[in-house]
Amino acid sequence: MQNYKIIIKLAWRNIWRNKRRTILTLLTIVVGCAMIILMNAFAKGGHDQMIEDAVALNTGHIQVHEEGFWDSQTIDYAFKPSEELISTIEGHEAVAGYSRRVHAGVLVALEDVSKGAMIQGIEPEREKTVTNLHEKILPGGRYLEKSDSTHVVMGEMLAKNLKVKVGDRISIISQGFDGSIAAEHLSIVGIFKSGNQEYDRILMLIPLSQAMKTFSMMGYVNSLVIRLGDPDEMGEVIEACREVTEEYSYPIEVMGWKTLMPELVQFIVMDDVAAWIFDFILFMVVAFGILNTIQMSVFERTREFGVMLSIGTQPSQVVAIVLTETVFITLVGIIIGSIIGIGSSVYMHFNPIDYSAYADEIAVWGVNTTIFPATVTVANVVVTGLITFVLAVLFSIFPARRAAKLDPVEAIRTL
Amino acid sequence: MAIIQTSKLYKDYATNGVTVKALRGIDLTIDRGEFSALAGPSGSGKTTLLNIIGGLDHPTNGQVTVNDILLNEQSAKELARIRLNRIGFIFQAYNLIPVLTAIENVEYILLLQGVDKEERYQRSSEILREVGLGDELHRRPQELSGGQQQRVAVARAIVSQPDIVLADEPTANLDQKTGAMLLDMMHDLNKKKGITFLFSTHDQMVMERAERLLHLVDGQVADDEWKKK
Ligand SMILES: Nc1ncnc2c1ncn2[C@@H]1O[C@H](COP(=O)(O)OP(=O)(O)O)[C@@H](O)[C@H]1O
Ligand SMILES: [Mg+2]
């Protein structure tokens, strides 16, 4: 079967017969593929960034609590991290850092009114390996230090609402873990602006050691927050933690970020669906562009196909010629499109879109991400190329079969 | 020995409820080595008859055999194979595949037949030399004159040594002189190689050169005239 050689030769020469049309079709494929790859890279990069930002701001990748804490968010649900649990976490190579926290809802007493707020007792040094709130302290203040005691760092909006500034003192009142009244005077050492409206409006940080005393925690904490160096290992780390926490006499929950932040997952899914719809439209534009080209070129060659069929070319060979033309144009288009798509994605990875000027508008959506990089993956490029290729071939089958089924007598009559 | 035999060939075309009787009972025998012409005015059924003999079209009634193969019974695929291996076709014009050079056009037939590369080139270049295109092997059709293009078509039609070459008004798009030269060349091939030709024409110059003239009138053979032998 040496026929494939002549089929390839015919197909290759035919696509260059109408250079303008071929180049236009090629451009459609190139632009389509490049755009799809870049859009998907932006979706992937943006989502990764949003996850990273949300995780790094406060939530971490994994949290361990007494079962029920995450739903109720009350101080009553607390547990004692066992040495075995700590050593399991410290020993896992995917873990970048961990920190214990106490969470307490408090009232901040002002002269005439009181305002609700949320206190997190944190380990200042460890917390820096888990979250990046320490990088969001406004000038004039500082983050908590190991030696701090009745010191507090609070959100910008909260400070504004309380009409306080760095150096001022506030009084808080709450209920301790043991049911007693918890009250404390705290002096403000820093104010943060996280970009997350909720945190900026209600969150205060005090040292864990102080929280233990103020809220009579008796060595219990509300959460143990883990930050991973390699987020892909999340499942394994959760499993390792669960193996230890199963030994507890009371139920413990080990939650990954997807369970901790279901709204973020939902947002990403919806964003993905929107991107897929956009992809679908682009794919259709490309597919119909190819269909149109092949149909035109088959139509223009009616007589030629008639002669070829007359002198003994089999219809299947005519189909092969037309499909090979599609394959050539599409392959070249996909290769160039992928190179441009990958190139622009890589460029946008290192030069991400910076929306920090619109940080306040973005914050309304509960998102603190302002830098949107593109991240291109092998799957993105391969799937885009494959779908384009399959669509192109599918859409060419119709004109190819039409050429093959021509009645040679009729075809030769057309000039 | 008969290469082509038709018996009681009828062909009706139905268009918009009107039936045109293009062929009305053609009984015809073409023997090996003939150089014969179907002559007749436009619309007399020449093209229809050649198409049916060549296995491109089906008769409404009647039978055609090519070298004792009954065409009526063949599948479309088999008919394509018969056209490839047993029949050479020359049409009025635009016979060639535009993206292929002269020799590639001739080789195309041998390629479809599975002849290997060297033999293909050898036979094709030799035939092209015989039709006077030895210097034009690698030109594309658009770089050749109308007469040269028809010679390539002749070369392609005879390269696989078919049982018969069917040519539908091969000179219709050529001027008198070029047409005459093409016909003389075909006649030469007929004499030297014994290739059987059946062509159609309404051109006096072409009729003069045919050895046998079959006059078609309204889809019937009105006259069967042997001019020389
Ligand atoms: N496909 C067709 N449909 C309808 N009528 C046709 C068709 N082909 C040929 N005819 C008619 O059949 C008759 C013979 O045509 P044709 O074989 O082309 O004659 P010629 O080649 O001698 O000019 C003409 O009347 C023509 O109009
Ligand atoms: Mg005709």
Residues B221, B28: Cα–Cα separation, whole Å? 9
Closest CA to A174 of A256, A104, A90: A104
**For residue A230, pLDDT beyond 60:** yes
- Note the pLDDT tens digit of each residue in A147-196: 999 999 999 999 999 999 999 999 999 988 888 888 999 999 999 998 88
**With a 6 A CB cut-off, is B201 part of the ligand 1 pocket?**
no
**Which range has the worst mean pLDDT, A82-86, A105-109, A172-176, A357-361?**
A357-361
**In chain A, % of residues over pLDDT 90:** 75
What's the mean pLDDT in A117-146?
93
- Does ligand 1 lie within 6 Å of residue B45's CB atom? yes
Return the SS3 of B51: helix
Residues of A with CB under 8 A from a CB of B: 2-3, 5-6, 9-10, 13-14, 17, 303-304, 307-315, 317, 408-409, 412, 415
pLDDT in tens, A339-389: 999 999 999 999 998 888 877 777 766 677 788 899 999 999 999 999 999
Paired with A255 in beta bridges are A63
Residues of A in contact with B54 (CB under 8 A): 310
Residue ranges per structural domain of chain A: 2-54+264-413, 68-250
Q: Report the CATH number at residue B169.
A: 3.40.50.300
Q: Using the predicted structure, report yes or no on whether residue B121 has a pLDDT greater than 70.
A: yes
Does ligand 1 have an atom closer than 6 angstroms to the CB of B44?
yes
Cross-chain CB nearest to A13 (options B56, B99, B156): B99
Which chain B residue lies closest to A407 (C-alpha atoms)? B56
- Count of domains forming chain B: 1
pLDDT given for residue A138 in this prediction? 94
Q: Which pLDDT does position A415 carry in this prediction?
A: 62
| CB B47 less than 6 A from any atom of ligand 1 | yes
CA angle A203, A208, A212 (to 5 degrees): 110
DSSP A47: H
Q: Which domain holds residue B91?
A: 2-226
CA distance A31 to chain B (A): 29
φ, ψ (nearest 5 deg) of residue A130 = -105, -45
Q: What confidence tens digit (pLDDT) does each residue in A235-261 have?
A: 999 999 999 998 889 999 999 999 999
The mean pLDDT of B108-133, rounded to a whole number, is 93
User: Do residues A336 and A388 lie in contact, with contact meaning Cβ atoms separated by under 8 Å?
Assistant: no
CB contact under 8 A, A409 and B85: no
d(CA A186, CA A173): 11
Q: What is the ipTM of this complex?
A: 0.94
Helix spans in A193-310 (H): 197-202, 208-214, 234-245, 257-260, 262-300, 302-310
Element (H, E) at A401: helix A378-404
